[in-house]
Amino acid sequence: MEGARWAFRFGAWSPSRSEWLLAARCIQPEERERIRQFMFNKDAKAAIVRELIS
């Protein structure tokens, strides 16, 4: 069985506050806490997108 690869241009994604909160509610609490600790927004966006599509 082969896996699928996804691509997402997260740099072009500029979520509103409500979209960001919704995305955060859709991932596991442990991952949400880990993502909150990132220093840079681009790293947090990449991580949350990775969690949402996996």
pLDDT in tens, 15-49: 999 999 999 999 999 999 999 999 999 999 999 99
Residue 9 is assigned to a structural domain of this protein: no
Structural domain for 48, as ranges: 27-53
Domain count, the chain: 1
The CA-based angle 29-17-35, given to 5 degrees, is 30
In the prediction, which pLDDT does 33 show? 97
Whether residue 26 contacts residue 52, with contact meaning beta carbons closer than 8 Å, is answered with yes
Q: What is the pTM of this model?
A: 0.79
Residue 5 is assigned to a structural domain of this protein: no
Residue 1 is assigned to a structural domain of this protein: no
Residue 44 is assigned to a structural domain of this protein: yes
Residue 16 is assigned to a structural domain of this protein: no
Q: Is the pLDDT of residue 4 over 90?
A: no
Residue 45 is assigned to a structural domain of this protein: yes
Residue 21 is assigned to a structural domain of this protein: no
